[in-house]
Amino acid sequence: MLRKIALFLLVALNLSFAAQADEGMWLLNKLHQLNLNDKGLELSPEEIYAINQSSIKDGIVGLTMESNPFRFFCSGEIISSQGLFLTNHHCGYRQVQQHSSIENDYLSNGFWAQNHGEELYNKGMAVSILSEIRDVTERIVPELENIADFKERNEKIRELSKVIEDEVNETSHYKSIVKPMFEGNQFYLFIYEVFTDIRLVGAPPSSIGKFGGDTDNWMWPRHTGDFTLFRIYAAPDGKPAAYSPDNKPYQPKHHFPISLQGVQKDDFAFVIGFPGSTDRYLTSFGIEESLEHSYPVRIEARGKKLDVMKKHMNASDKVRIQYASKYAGISNYWKYFIGQTKGLKALKVYDKKQAFEAELSEWILANEQRTTKYGNALKDIQESFEARREIAKTQQYYGEGLFGIEALLLPRRFNELRKVLENKESSDEDIAKAVENAKATADAFFKDYDSATDYDLFVAMMTLFTEGVPVEQQPELILKLSKKAKGDFTRIADKFYEKSIFTSPERFQEFLAKPKAKTLAKDPFTELWEASYQKYIALNTPLAPINAKLAEGKRLFVAASMEYQDEKALYPDANSTPRFTYGYVGDYKPADAVHYNYYTTIDGIMEKEDPNNDEFIVDDHFKKLYRAKDFGMYADKDGNLWVNFITNNDITGGNSGSGVFNARGELIGTAFDGNWESMSGDIAFEPELQKCINVDIRYTLWVIDKYAGAKHLINEMTIIR
């Protein structure tokens, strides 16, 4: 998953030439650097990325929210001429949850629209489709050469970026954003069409889409049907438009044909998606901070949250539905941090980073000009990490612990209402509008909120916070509450949750009927929020110059690394921009005497079935189809139905839902996970271990067709037999 600070990985990680070639998250406009036809690709770079004609990029979507269309949480691929697109079940999980209720439990039972009229609109959801990438480095970097101050430099970057973005945003329906690459040594403009009328079309039940649950998460072998279907709607002229019954299914410039041929070992495969972030230029000092200060708190806090949520979810179907998406999000990265900690230690990534840093330093110091330019980079990085060490762990206790109490964060969402109520010049109309907005916010919040669950979270997180944070770094109010509680925060919770307007929809509605600024200001959670946030800001304010020094050190470190290996094609860290990665289907050996095959079949689902474990439930309808071997055209030549397969494509979070394509650009699967043995891959790519876990497209189609009976969806796809 990393940019190829090739030398970095060549020397430090001892990669072979072939392994290097398989590593990398490449910008789509840089594919000509890779000689991909020599690697097995049967397409030209122009067939993948073109500006003036249809290309593969036109069928790739980034899943985001209308409020922030450039922050992608997942990826997807368009699979019909009617705007139908495929992504992961866990990517659409929140949308399915939002439409679910005890009466219509789509999480448990699945959802399949029988026609366009039954498809469900998802308010706030959006997808972006890349139109063009422009290298704007020469418009920005020369303007920064004489700016030494970090803050001033960033302000100049923002100023120049806005000018470049506005050239697109103010003259067309496209939306654009300038993104820095290589720690601010290069800059690119990304231009998108952003569609906001997105409707849920189909989702399997969680017994298929989340089969294996937390137990199998990040693990191989896997047997998960991790997919969901949505459809893009557009105005009659094909352009993005707000939701309207008059909108029509979007007709894309490109949609992907689907291959039923399957895969074999060593088959070429490529992935295009929107990877969120990697940190492969991270130094040994950054790894030390993560292992010693950040990850332990994250793991502990998330583990306690999961225990609390699971207890209440198991006791109530209503709470199970309310907290399903929250639980999944917390759980995913709880296990990720555990795995990354293990991987960083087991693979000795810290030692490898140190070795590279020593080699790079030797190269820098061998030349006076390089010494002047880069000589302080690593020193500045080291000093910055050391200077912020004291607060690093406390930051995690605030973010993961204290701010994990839902009711505590709610007062900040009503700041606008409070300002209007406090303003003596506010008209009745101003107040009415603010109240209406507050009501909408409250309705959305309380739909997925359970006071009893949050009560237990309050007790757990307040206990964790007060026991873990030095006294001088705690808010004065919490110190008083802690003293009063005498170690038992249930006494404080009783008062807060019985009195606060933020823990009861009824009390909040009563407040909105007669809104007063004093009621908001004197609420116990408002007072706790303000005290906590002010202390948090006070602790972090001194870090600003330290972080500025760190950022500049990282920029120079990366620049030096790039110059050191200037004969190599390099790729930047993932940063929520569309990337191409190529690799091959294949098995692997995770440990001595252990060998994993490169695919799993439906037989494995039945082997794992456990009716007493909600992670491994197999329903009767599924079992009936299995016993009948009713696999249709989706079976392999031996009559078996494949479920998942693995490749060595370089992916990370945000790639979830990315299409996996064969050498001809036909869809063969959907990426949904990485493997446990390479959890350190966001920091250092591990060529022998790194795997991308994918849903075999034939299993996806079998579930849609045979299990769900949604043949109409199959009929609108382009199937290659």
Whether 341 and 225 map to the same domain: the answer is no
Is-catalytic flag, 259? no
Tokens describing residue 333: 């990265």
Nearest residue to 448 (alpha-carbon basis) of 106, 100, 74: 100
Last residue of a domain, one of 512, 540, 568: 540
Q: How far apart (Å, rounded) are the C-alpha atoms in residues 316 and 318?
A: 5
Residue 663 dihedral angles phi and psi, to the nearest 5°: -60, -20
Q: How far apart (Å, rounded) are the C-alpha atoms in residues 643 and 604?
A: 9
Whether 471 and 599 map to the same domain: the answer is no
Whether 504 and 649 map to the same domain: the answer is no
Nearest residue to 380 (alpha-carbon basis) of 454, 466, 286, 446: 286
pLDDT along the chain (721 residues), means of 10: 35 36 86 93 98 97 96 98 98 97 97 98 98 98 93 96 98 97 97 98 98 96 98 97 97 98 97 97 96 95 98 97 96 94 94 96 97 97 94 95 97 96 95 96 96 98 97 97 92 96 97 96 97 96 95 97 86 97 96 96 98 96 97 97 97 97 98 95 91 98 98 98 86
Q: How far apart (Å, rounded) are the C-alpha atoms in residues 463 and 490?
A: 10
Whether 309 and 446 map to the same domain: the answer is yes
Residue 602 dihedral angles phi and psi, to the nearest 5°: -65, -20
Nearest residue to 671 (alpha-carbon basis) of 691, 698, 701: 691
Distance of CA 467 to the CA centre of its chain: 31
Whether 356 is covered by a domain: the verdict is no
Is-catalytic flag, 696? no
Whether 600 and 707 map to the same domain: the answer is yes
Whether 9 is covered by a domain: the verdict is no
Q: What is the pLDDT of residue 567?
A: 76
| Residue from 226, 450, 454, 673 carrying the catalytic annotation | 226
Residue 78 dihedral angles phi and psi, to the nearest 5°: -80, 130
Residue count of the chain: 721
Whether 122 is covered by a domain: the verdict is yes
Whether 263 and 211 map to the same domain: the answer is yes
Tokens describing residue 660: 């996996």
Whether 322 is covered by a domain: the verdict is yes
Q: What is the pLDDT of residue 711?
A: 97
Whether 602 is covered by a domain: the verdict is yes
Q: Exposed, middle or buried: residue 216 (CB in 10 Å: 0-12, 13-18, 19+)?
A: buried
Nearest residue to 500 (alpha-carbon basis) of 563, 543, 553, 458: 458
Domain that holds residue 315: 284-347+388-540
Q: How far apart (Å, rounded) are the C-alpha atoms in residues 701 and 715?
A: 11
| CATH classification of the domain holding 696 | 2.40.10.120
| Residue from 290, 656, 658, 678 carrying the catalytic annotation | 656
Return the sign of the alpha-carbon dihedral for residues 205, 211, 213, 218.
negative
Residue with tokens 């959670």: 525
Whether 211 and 289 map to the same domain: the answer is no
Q: What is the pLDDT of residue 160?
A: 98
Last residue of a domain, one of 476, 511, 540: 540
Q: How far apart (Å, rounded) are the C-alpha atoms in residues 621 and 703?
A: 11
Whether 592 and 465 map to the same domain: the answer is no
Instruction: Count up the domains in the chain and report the number.
Output: 2
Is-catalytic flag, 226? yes
Question: Where in 82-123 does DSSP place strands (E)?
Answer: 84-87, 111-112, 120-121
Residue 617 dihedral angles phi and psi, to the nearest 5°: -75, 140
Pair 198, 127: CB distance under 8 Å: yes
Whether 308 and 232 map to the same domain: the answer is no
Whether 137 is covered by a domain: the verdict is no
Q: What is the pLDDT of residue 175?
A: 98
| Residue from 55, 58, 75, 90 carrying the catalytic annotation | 90
Whether 322 and 434 map to the same domain: the answer is yes
Q: How far apart (Å, rounded) are the C-alpha atoms in residues 575 and 341?
A: 22
Pair 594, 219: CB distance under 8 Å: no
Whether 366 is covered by a domain: the verdict is no
Last residue of a domain, one of 540, 570, 603: 540
Beta bridge partners of 132: 191
Whether 498 and 511 map to the same domain: the answer is yes
Tokens describing residue 412: 């900040």
Q: Exposed, middle or buried: residue 426 (CB in 10 Å: 0-12, 13-18, 19+)?
A: middle
Q: What is the pLDDT of residue 4?
A: 33
Residue 696 dihedral angles phi and psi, to the nearest 5°: -65, 130
Whether 301 and 449 map to the same domain: the answer is yes
Pair 692, 233: CB distance under 8 Å: no
Helix (H) or strand (E) holding 645: strand 642-647
